[in-house]
């Protein structure tokens, strides 16, 4: 690929290729961000499996708002293994990008930013004022325009009241009596979805972040956290003309946890930035309406791809997995107590090229996180903690290649990763974009 990125906005920016395995200086990390009017040339070879990746803007301090206002899109990768399958193609291969948004009073998109002109200025309830729990030292570092509302959003993430599909609010999807391949991306800033059909029929999953599964799996619901993709096999071929099916996000517990409830109680739940559509609520996403009859049948393949499982015994650190604990201090998120620093890698964030490692991410916090490792696809070895018995665990699709993984409160997930070939400095982060902007992002280095 050769891509020239020209920065036509009035902020620094760069484009991150989410999920692609490319050299570190082609990843589009904040240290490569360019100024307004400048140009960055990407040149890399795509050697990933077939699948659905995406790209989005990154910029120190500006990632959440740039993605929110639209700087994101999908990348489809095809290969021969996929081409040999009879999967739905052309108009039957569709992208479904899910995002939550808020309208401002002037009917434009509204984002309660942590800084800049869009920052909301709301009155501080006494409990949250300078002497309250969110006050004190935390208010000092914000600079112009940063209010409590912005600070809280940094910690919790943005949760919009309205669901947009492919950039449009409440637009029904018109379908034919045919089988579809739906490539579903959660491009929301912070909201996790529990995808399910309203009528209770199971979903047929054929792919995750890193491409096709070995074989299709049926799920009553699928958890999709920010940054993740899932591909669904959706069969409308026996549906009646005029019929309608509704995809919903089912209720789930534990994501916002105590923190969300506490803040909601304090602020009455009605103010800007306190979600009126809480994370984990049940709500419809969109409806698919059958408007056209076609006679063509496509059979669901029994086998989809060759899934190479990475083996725990091949990991160089199998006796002592690398541990990353999500931490919080001084209104900053962090991994092991360290927040994002441009161009800084700690000694325990350096791995060796050509090795396989086990990384354990531990979340003892009251909020869920979306752990994303840049530059590769990994696999889940195991999970432990309370979420493994909750109403969320059934919705994990942990059998495929992933680049982003949901960890619920009090959950630990053990990942296996292979650092194949490129050396250089990559990143790992929470893909709840406000969390990353508030520190939950670090670099890791692959050395020769």
Binding region for Cu ion (CB under 5 A) out of 70-78, 210-218, 284-292, 429-437: 429-437
Binding region for Cu ion (CB under 5 A) out of 37-45, 109-117, 266-274, 430-438: 430-438
- How many CB atoms are located within 10 Å of the residue 390 CB? 17
**356 vs 429, beta carbon nearer Cu ion:** 429
- Size of the residue set binding Cu ion (CB under 5 A): 4
The DSSP bridge pattern shows strands 72-77 and 51-58 to be antiparallel
Phi, psi of 247 (to 5 degrees): -90, 130
Binding region for Cu ion (CB under 5 A) out of 231-239, 303-311, 394-402, 425-433: 425-433
**245 vs 435, beta carbon nearer Cu ion:** 435
Binding region for Cu ion (CB under 5 A) out of 16-24, 344-352, 409-417, 422-430: 422-430
**62 vs 369, beta carbon nearer Cu ion:** 369
Distances (CA, A) of 436 to 54, 69, 341, 398, 432: 18, 17, 11, 23, 7
Pairwise CA distance, residues 123 & 316, whole Å: 53
Q: Is 432 in the site for Cu ion (CB under 5 A)?
A: yes
Find out whether 44 and 28 touch, Cβ atoms under 8 Å. Answer: no
**271 vs 406, beta carbon nearer Cu ion:** 406
As measured in angstroms, the least distance from the Cβ of 82 to Cu ion is 32
Per-residue binding letters, 122-151, with Cu ion (x by CB under 5 A): ------------------------------
CA triple 109-114-118, angle to 5 deg: 40
As measured in angstroms, the least distance from the Cβ of 332 to Cu ion is 12
Q: Is 154 in the site for Cu ion (CB under 5 A)?
A: no
CA triple 173-191-428, angle to 5 deg: 120
Binding region for Cu ion (CB under 5 A) out of 3-11, 294-302, 306-314, 434-442: 434-442
Among 56, 62, 383, 435, indicate the residue that binds Cu ion (CB under 5 A): 435
**211 vs 439, beta carbon nearer Cu ion:** 439
**290 vs 366, beta carbon nearer Cu ion:** 366
**17 vs 158, beta carbon nearer Cu ion:** 158
Number of helices and strands in the chain (H, E): 5, 27
Instruction: Count CA atoms within 13 Å of residue 180 on its CB side.
Output: 21
Q: Is 438 in the site for Cu ion (CB under 5 A)?
A: no
327, β-bridge pairs? 334
Residues 356-395 that bind Cu ion (CB under 5 A): 369
Distances (CA, A) of 154 to 171, 253, 442: 30, 21, 17
Find out whether 182 and 96 touch, Cβ atoms under 8 Å. Answer: yes
Q: Is 413 in the site for Cu ion (CB under 5 A)?
A: no
Q: Is 430 in the site for Cu ion (CB under 5 A)?
A: yes
**395 vs 409, beta carbon nearer Cu ion:** 409
Q: What is the dihedral angle through the alpha carbons of 403, 404, 405, 406, rounded to the nearest 10 degrees?
A: -170
As measured in angstroms, the least distance from the Cβ of 338 to Cu ion is 15
Pairwise CA distance, residues 432 & 157, whole Å: 6
Q: Which residues bind Cu ion (CB under 5 A)?
A: 369, 430, 432, 435
């Amino acid at each position: 690929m050769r891509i020239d990125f020209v920065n036509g906005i009035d902020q620094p920016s760069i484009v991150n290729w989410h999920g692609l395995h490319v050299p570190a200086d082609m990843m589009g990390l904040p240290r490569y961000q360019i100024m307004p009017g400048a140009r960055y040339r990407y040149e890399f070879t795509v050697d990933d499996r077939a699948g659905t990746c995406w790209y989005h803007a990154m910029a120190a301090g500006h990632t959440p708002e740039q993605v929110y206002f639209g700087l994101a899109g999908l990348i489809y990768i095809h290969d021969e293994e996929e081409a040999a399958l009879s999967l739905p193609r052309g108009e039957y291969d569709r992208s479904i990008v899910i995002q939550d948004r808020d309208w401002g009073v002037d009917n434009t998109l509204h984002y309660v930013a942590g800084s800049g002109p869009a920052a909301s200025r709301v009155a501080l309830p006494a409990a949250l004022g300078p002497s309250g729990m969110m006050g004190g030292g935390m208010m000092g570092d914000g600079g112009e325009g940063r209010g409590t509302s912005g600070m809280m959003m940094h910690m919790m993430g943005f949760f919009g009241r309205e669901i947009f599909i492919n950039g449009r609010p409440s637009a029904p999807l018109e379908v034919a009596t045919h089988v579809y391949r739906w490539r579903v991306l959660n491009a929301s800033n912070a909201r996790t979805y529990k995808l399910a059909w309203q009528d209770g029929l199971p979903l047929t999953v054929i792919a995750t972040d890193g491409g096709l599964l070995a074989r299709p799996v049926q799920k009553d619901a699928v958890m999709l956290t920010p940054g993740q993709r899932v591909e669904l096999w959706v069969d409308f071929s026996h549906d009646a003309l005029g019929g309608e099916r509704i995809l919903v996000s089912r209720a789930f517990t534990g994501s916002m946890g105590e923190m969300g409830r506490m803040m909601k109680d304090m602020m009455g739940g009605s103010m800007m930035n306190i979600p009126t559509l809480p994370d984990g609520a049940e709500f419809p996403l969109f409806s698919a309406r059958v408007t056209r009859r076609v006679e063509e049948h496509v059979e669901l393949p029994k086998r989809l791809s060759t899934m190479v499982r990475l083996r725990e015994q091949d990991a160089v650190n199998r006796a002592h997995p690398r541990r990353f604990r999500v931490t919080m201090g001084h209104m900053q998120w962090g991994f092991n107590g360290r927040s994002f620093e441009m161009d800084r890698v700690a000694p325990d964030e350096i791995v060796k090229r050509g090795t396989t490692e086990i990384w354990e991410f531990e979340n003892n916090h009251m909020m869920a996180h979306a752990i994303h490792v840049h530059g590769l696809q990994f696999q889940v070895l195991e999970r432990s903690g309370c979420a493994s018995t909750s109403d969320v665990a059934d919705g994990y699709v942990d059998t495929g290649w992933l680049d982003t993984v949901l960890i619920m409160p009090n959950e630990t997930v053990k990942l296996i990763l292979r650092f194949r070939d490129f050396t250089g400095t990559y990143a790992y982060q929470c893909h709840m974009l406000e969390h990353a902007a508030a520190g939950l992002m670090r670099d890791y280095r692959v050395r020769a």
